[in-house]
Every structure is written in C-alpha cells, then in structure tokens.
A and B are shown apart, each in its own frame.
Chain A
Amino acid sequence: MSKMPKWADTILIPLFSILLAFFFSGLVIFAIGKDPFNAIMVMIDGAFGSTGGLGYTLYYATNFIFTGLSVAVAYHAGLFNIGSEGQAMLGGLGVALVCLFIPFGHWTIALPVAVIGAALFGGLWALIPAYLQAKRGSHIVITTIMFNFIASALIGYLLTRVLKVPGAMSSETARFPESTHLPTFHEMLAPLGIMFNKNAPANLAFVVALVACVFFWWLIWRTRLGYQIRAYGQSESAAKYAGISPSRIIIITMMISGALAGLMAINNVMGEAERLIDNAVEGAGFIGIAVALMGRNHPVGIILASILFGFLYQGGAELALWEGIPRELVVVIQALVILFTGALDNMVRMPLERLFVALKRKEG
C-alpha cells in the first residue's frame, strides 16, 4: 500500500532535502560574493576536520539529541511539546542546585544525582502544561510556549537576584566545584591512547545522550507504557476504547519529555559551562523540533539529525570566523536546512513518490 520503500522514506527524502538546502545555501553564499565550494569545505573541515572541531560538533549534537528525544517522545503521544526550551532551562537549574549545594567527592557520584535533578526539574516544569491539557483542556502548544517565557524570566530572576555571586557582573551562578567536573572526550580517550583536543567541550554527556536514546527506544517500542503512548498518539478515541486513560498518558509522557529536555543540562551546564548562565539553552529546544521531525522520531534518526545540526552550528561558526560570512547569513543557512528538512518535507516527498510509482508501473 505504501508508495515508497521504507529505505527511500527514511534515507532518500532527508538526503534530497539536505542537498536542496545546501544548493540554496550555496546560492546565498554566492550572492554575497563568496565561493560556495570553499565555504562548504570550510564548514566540513571545521566541523569534522580536527578533533577540536569534532568536539564542538558533538557537543552541540548532544544538546540536540536530548531536545530531539524530548520532542519525539511527546510526538509519539500526539503532543506537540514546544516547551523543550524552557524545560531544558529548568533542567539547568536542577543541575546547578545539585552541583552547588550538595557536596560530592567525585563526579561519579555527582552525575547520577545531577541526572535526577535535571530530569526532575525538567519533568516538573512540563507537568504543569500537561496537567492543564489533561484536566482542563488548555492546548499544550500554547501553554508550553508560554512556559518557555516563564522559565526564561524565572531563571533570569534567580540569576540576577538569588543565585548570583555577590559583586560579580555576570548574571550567572558561581562555578561548580571541581569535583563535579565531567570528563571531556580528551580525558575519556587519553587513557585509551587516543588524543582528543583537550579544549573541545564534548564530554561524558554525549554518552548519557546515547544511553537516553537506548532508553527511548526501549520505552517506545518495547514497554507497555510505550505501546499505550503510541496508541494514544495515533488515536485518542481508540485509546479510550482500549481502556487507556488519556490524562494519565498526557501527564506521564509530558513528564518524560520534560525530563529528557532537562537532561540537556548535563551537557551544557554541568559538562561545558560548569555554572548556570542566563539563556544557557540558546534555542536548542526549538532545534529539537526540527531534529525530531527530520529524525522521524526515531533515536537513530535523531542522532543523525543532531549531528547534522551540530555540523551546521560548528561549521557555521567556522564560516563566521574565517570566511567573514556574517552571523546572520549563517543563521539563514541553518534556517534553510530546517525549512527543507522539516517544513518542506512534502515538497521532496511528492515527486519522489511519483517517481517510485512510475518505476513500479514500469516493472509491473
């Protein structure tokens, strides 16, 4: 019945979308008088050409894996969680409180507690919109968007009034104690004899992200809860028929979604900044929407899409550094990729489908 083989749907369409995006990005670069081929080489070399670049690419990718999983889990329940951004901010708060106020001897003890703190804060932040949706019918898209603003203001308030180091200029918390420092790739790989750039921010959180991907896969496709989430996401009326309580699924799924978003703080707050700064999430929550969409809400797809966006971020930085391509145009290129891979999915899909139908008819 399906018009295309599965491999075409999962590989060919994203590939064509990316190629189209790069084609139009190339036109943009050409239009400002730069060499698009050179630009793409700078991006690739900058993002993958050295362990330093790779470390940044993977650092960004780690953020996007968490937020991508967050959006995807909600999506499986038919919920559009726009609030991963705010949930990740609150996750940061959870991590900061844990790292600042609980004395740990070693990161191996700090990490599990920080994971709980991040997941708990992110999850509880998602609980409020979830409750309002489940029990009061307030649309989750609206409430989660609003909760991003509330989260931003709340963190801003705490950082300027409560958690700030007295006398310091920046609205940020004190630096976390040395004992909560997560191993970077350099520190992780050096014992294995692999020399990884010691300044690249990629850290153990990447491994945590991969674990989260496995958890996600087990949850969605192997557990009863995942079965119920997917069933509810496909059809609320069918779920009710099958004795699945919609409000229970909404609340549980959103808390898992918020927890996954919150876990991003393990990477950017605990792993990289080692303190909570204002606007630490920097839009990764929104990129998560594109990542989930492009990754077809599957952990493998999400990992690949996250690395693509990590590449765009790191490669884009290199463009800004060495090619003099203004920051705004780098954002334009990133936006083109989101546009083509996310919003314009059908633009690529329809001609491809027609092509496959035509091919099949020829065979038949």
Chain B
Amino acid sequence: MVTRTAEGRQETAASFAPAPTVPYAIELKGISKSFGPVQANKNIAIKVAKGTIHGIIGENGAGKSTLMSILYGFYKADSGVIEIDGKRVNITDSSSAIAAGIGMVFQHFKLVENFTVLENIILGAEDGPLLRPSLSKARKLLRELSDEYELSVDPDALVENLSVGHQQRVEILKALYRQADILILDEPTGVLTPAEADHLFRILEGLKTQGKTIILITHKLREIMEVTDNVSVMRRGEMVATVKTADSSAEELAELMVGRKVLLQVEKTPAVPQDVVLDIKGLRVVDGHGVERLRGIDLHLRAGEILGIAGVAGNGQTELLEVLGGYMAASGEILMQGAPLDLSGDASDGQTRRARGIAHVPEDRHDEGLILDFPAWENVCFGYHGDPKYQKNALFMDHKAIRDDAKGKIERFDIRPANCDTPAKSFSGGNQQKIVLAREIEREPALLLIGQPTRGVDIGAIEFIHQQIVALRDRGAAILLVSVELDEIMSLSDRIAVMFDGRIMGEKLPQETNERELGLMMAGMSTPQKDA
C-alpha cells in the first residue's frame, strides 16, 4: 500500500516533466522490485536508443530476467516509470506489452508443438473467429519477412519437426506478426550451434537496419562484443554501467559484472594420461518413442585426463551421462576398469556404481543433483546414503556423522551461507553446484562424470569449479566433461569429442582445433569417425 502511494506521487511528477527531444525506444526510470526481503531490482534506469542492439549482461540472479519480466508485464514494478517512444506506458500484462510494441523471445520457447508454424504465429492474435483470413495474412507476411531477413521457415511445418534454430525464428516471427518494434531476446544462443547463432545475429542486424530496436540478454561476453551497439551491466539488482560496446572490452565487462578482476582462462598443466578407466563400445539407446538417441558410441577415457564432449544440447549427451550414471537402459558395452557395467537401467545400480568409484555431477542440479527442499546436510549424502559411514546401524542413519561431514564440506568448498540446515533451494546457483561438487569430488572417484559444470553459475564460482576439476584430474581421476559451452570445453579438455545426433563426429585435441571447426562438427558437417 505504501509503495503504491509513492508510485502515485511519482506519476504526478512525471506528467509535469518536459518530454525529451529525441525519444528513446525504451526508457526506464527508477524501476524497483522486491520479492519478500530480496530486492531483485534497485532503482534501475536505462535508455535504449531506437534502431540499436542493446545488450544487457549480468551474472545469474543479477536481476536481468526480473527487469525484462517487468517490461513484458509478468511482474509489476514496486515503483518506477516505463516510457516507450517518450510516452509513459502502463504495462500490466503481456497483452499491454504487446500493444506497446514489445515482443519477447523466451529462452524456453512458448510454442504449441503439434501446431504448424502458421498456427503458432497467429495463436492469440487471430483477427476473428475464422482462422483463414489470419492464416493467409500471416502467410503473406512470412513470405515478405523471409526474403528480407533470412527468416525463412516452412509455414506449414509442424513446430515439433523443426530444429531449435528454426523454432526460435518462429518466436521472432510471432513477435513481428504482432508488430513489435522492440524485440527482447533472453539468452537466445543457449540452444544454438555457433552457425545457427551467427545466422541469428545476421537476422538481428537486418531487423536493426529496418529500425527495430533489439534488447539482447545474455551472459556470453563474446556475443555482446560481436553484435551489440551499447551494453548495460547489471550486478546484484543494480545497473552498474551502460557503455558503448566499441569503447569497452570483454575483460572490463567481466570485471563490472563480478565486481572484481576475474581470470577468464583456466590455468592447467598438460595432462599425463594413465591406464584406460572407461571403455565404451557400440553404445546404443532407444527412447520410449522408439527414437534412437545414441547410435553406437565408442569412446575411451584414461586416468588423469579430461575428455570434453562438445555438442549442441539434445544430441545424446544427456543420454550418455544417464547411461553411465546407471539410470538409463542401453545396449552395447561399457567397461569400467576392465569390468562390465550393468546396462539394464535399473536405477538401484547407481549405488553399485558409486561404490565402484563412479561419481556424477549431473547436468541439471535442480532436477537431479539436489533435493531442493532438503537442507544442505541431507544433500551431502545424497546418492551415498547407503554408505556405511553415514549409518548408525542397520535401520537408522547417523545424522551427526552426516552433519559433521556437511560442515567440513561447507568449509572446504567455501559454500555460503555456511549453514548446513539451509535448504538447498536457498543457495545461489554457484553454491548449489559447490555442494554437488563437494559431495562427488571428495570421494576421490576414479571416474567423474560432470555435465554442464558451470550452467547458471556466477563467474566467481566458475573459476573455483574449474580449478577443482583440474585438480581432481591431476590427482589421477578420469573426467568426462559434457558442456554446451564451447569456451569451457576448449579451455578445460585434454581431448575433445564432438557429438551430433547420437554419434561421435570425431575427436580433436584442443590445441589443434578451433571453434569454427568444432562448430561445423557440432552441426553434423563431417563424417563420423569410425574408431577413436
């Protein structure tokens, strides 16, 4: 109630303010938003000039998504003013945002999978009860746009049959169909191959020259440097700087994001590979729909080396990790230190595997690696809850032993808050990942499976996590690293295997390859290698 009154007062003040001479496409003034005690946005001010690509970067939890949600009407700001083209607007929901000319392309697409492209484009923007006029209008528009901006998509294809890159184009087309002048893209390249990402940036350039304004939210500094005109940096809910991209550098932006100097490179010595720990032969997985997700994988991994699996998300990496983790059925053969693993996919085999020295940092810590509602201490024994050291007797678990273990891990891995009773969900992404990492690494496994080790982790913690992985390698563990971040694969791996469509496209040494070559392999542009 109090904030509402404050807002009301501001409103009167604003209406008397002189209009700016050259209106900005978007101008935000004093936007604040709290969730309970957490202030997600503090007095944000930002000006986005018409016809530019404006980047917004910041670590996870810096408040980027909240700000964009306010702009798109999902949240209502506690205070502050939004101006579009110099006119104050009141955005209460997504339809008023659309009316104000704002279009949004979400990280997770909001498409109806079994509708065609055209049907998706007109969905919610039909001109009347009959679909035909809307559909033919959309078809005409689609033809124009595909010529103009390389936005070609088959209008009659079902969305579920489109590649991720094409689905994203449908999202952009949806926004353009609704006559958006301002396009917001939230982490648009997370699911794209480098080539697809390049294509997307060409589309954005084209839109820019037509006078559209684009806001690009990302955490990838490289993209910011490549395509944006201006960039705003957010840190802990505040807008700490807005600079001309050309006048800045990746290092400067990283420092602004984190608030201190960061090492963008991983320091490591050359690997000293030992005996083969893991030997995978002809691994195949068929999913519930009868689709073959792994089509004969052959890989081997030695103690003391990091094998990076590069690839666009959804090309079989997840299945590979789950098979190795013991909870997906497969055919073929996996030898762990010479002895075969059970490939039936019965989850209870996960216990046996852990006992044999296979540790696993899963790709998705929210869904798999942690029980979010459990306190930290109950998470440090997760997966190892059958370990005798956590048992008091045949029936009961030894809570004291588990808590002591948790306290030690919290200290050694500098997990904050340093309270083992805090539920896992209340830790930041980086600290959650540290809990998982501490649990898996401290067992000194012979083999560590690690998926997306730094997804949603702030830059400061990334450094630490990378150091831990390298240190474990140096202690003689074999590490299988799966990541969609090519930079991470390049800087951590001793060997790189590229996956595409359930196959290994080939292996490269990081010092002998480059992003372009790997990018082509990730897009399937090379013949599969027969034997590694």
Contacts and interface: CB of A to CB of B under 8 A. Distances in A.
Nearest to A4: B36
B357 interface: no
A241 B397 contact: no
B326 interface: yes
Nearest to B355: A243
A136 interface: no
Kindly name the residue among A237, A248, A361 whose own CB sees the greatest number of chain B CB atoms within 10 A.
Answer: A237
A231 B383 CA distance: 10
Nearest to A219: B395
A243 B426 contact: no
Given A1-B426, A231-B382, A224 B347 contact: no
B251 interface: no
Contacts of A325: none
B273 to A, nearest CB: 28
A153 interface: no
24 contacts: A1-B38, A222-B397, A223-B397, A224-B386, A224-B395, A227-B385, A227-B397, A231-B374, A231-B382, A234-B372, A234-B374, A235-B372, A237-B364, A238-B370, A241-B362, A241-B368, A242-B385, A243-B353, A243-B354, A245-B346, A245-B348, A357-B37, A360-B36, A360-B37
Contacts of B399: 222
B171 interface: no
Interface string A240-264: 1111111010000000000000000
Nearest to A356: B36
B177 interface: no
A219 to B, nearest CB: 9
B395 A241 contact: no
Interface of B: 36-38, 325-327, 346-354, 360, 362, 364, 367-374, 378, 382-383, 385-386, 391, 395-397, 399, 423, 425-426
Contacts of A239: 347
Contacts of B346: 245
Given A242-B383, A244-B347, A357 B353 contact: no
A243 B351 contact: yes
A231 B385 CA distance: 11
Interface in A347-364: 357, 360-361, 364
Contacts of B370: 238
B44 to A, nearest CB: 19
Contacts of A245: 346-348
A139 interface: no
B425 A241 contact: no
B397 A238 contact: no
A70 interface: no
B383 A230 contact: no
A242 B368 CA distance: 8
A1 B425 contact: yes
B368 A228 contact: no
A3 interface: yes
B348 A248 contact: yes
A345 B327 CA distance: 37
Nearest to B371: A234
Contact of B325 (A241, A248, A361): A241
A241 B36 contact: no
Nearest to B364: A237
A234 B368 contact: no
Contact of B327 (A223, A240, A360): A240
Contacts of B368: 235, 237-238, 240-241
Contacts of B385: 224, 227-228, 231, 242
A231 to B, nearest CB: 5
Interface residues of A, number: 28
Contact of B369 (A3, A228, A230, A238): A238
A239 B327 CA distance: 10
Contact of B382 (A222, A238, A240, A360): A238
A364 B37 contact: yes
A227 B399 CA distance: 11
A243 B374 contact: no
A227 B373 CA distance: 12
Contact of B373 (A223, A234, A241, A243): A234
A76 B163 CA distance: 39
Contact of A222 (B373, B396, B426): B396
Given A240-B327, A364-B37, A235 B397 contact: no
Contacts of A228: 385
B347 A238 contact: no
B375 to A, nearest CB: 12
Nearest to B350: A243
Contacts of B37: 357, 360-361, 364
A77 B365 CA distance: 20
A326 B370 CA distance: 53
B75 to A, nearest CB: 15
A148 to B, nearest CB: 30
Contacts of A248: 348
Contacts of A244: 347-348, 350
Contacts of B374: 230-231, 234
Nearest to B367: A237
A184 B354 CA distance: 53
B4 to A, nearest CB: 13
Kindly name the residue among B347, B350, B399, B425 whose own CB sees the greatest number of chain A CB atoms within 10 A.
Answer: B347
A97 to B, nearest CB: 30
Contacts of A243: 326-327, 347-354, 383, 386
Contacts of B371: 230-231, 234-235, 238
B432 to A, nearest CB: 13
B345 to A, nearest CB: 9
B350 A242 contact: yes
Contacts of A237: 364, 367-368
Contacts of A227: 378, 385, 397
A348 B362 CA distance: 38
Given A234-B372, A243-B353, 20 more contacts: A1-B425, A222-B396, A223-B397, A224-B397, A227-B385, A228-B385, A231-B385, A235-B372, A237-B368, A238-B367, A238-B369, A238-B370, A238-B371, A238-B382, A241-B360, A243-B326, A243-B383, A244-B347, A244-B350, A364-B37
Contact of A240 (B350, B352, B364, B372): B350
Contacts of A231: 371, 374, 382, 385
Interface in A191-228: 218, 222-224, 227-228
A36 B374 CA distance: 45
Contacts of B378: 227
Kindly name the residue among A222, A242, A361 whose own CB sees the greatest number of chain B CB atoms within 10 A.
Answer: A242
Contacts of A364: 37
A237 B350 CA distance: 13
A364 B36 CA distance: 12
A242 B391 contact: no
A241 B383 contact: yes
B213 to A, nearest CB: 36
A213 B376 CA distance: 26
A243 B350 CA distance: 4
A224 B391 contact: yes
B347 A240 contact: yes
Nearest to B352: A243
Nearest to B351: A243
B319 to A, nearest CB: 13
Contacts of B367: 235, 237-238
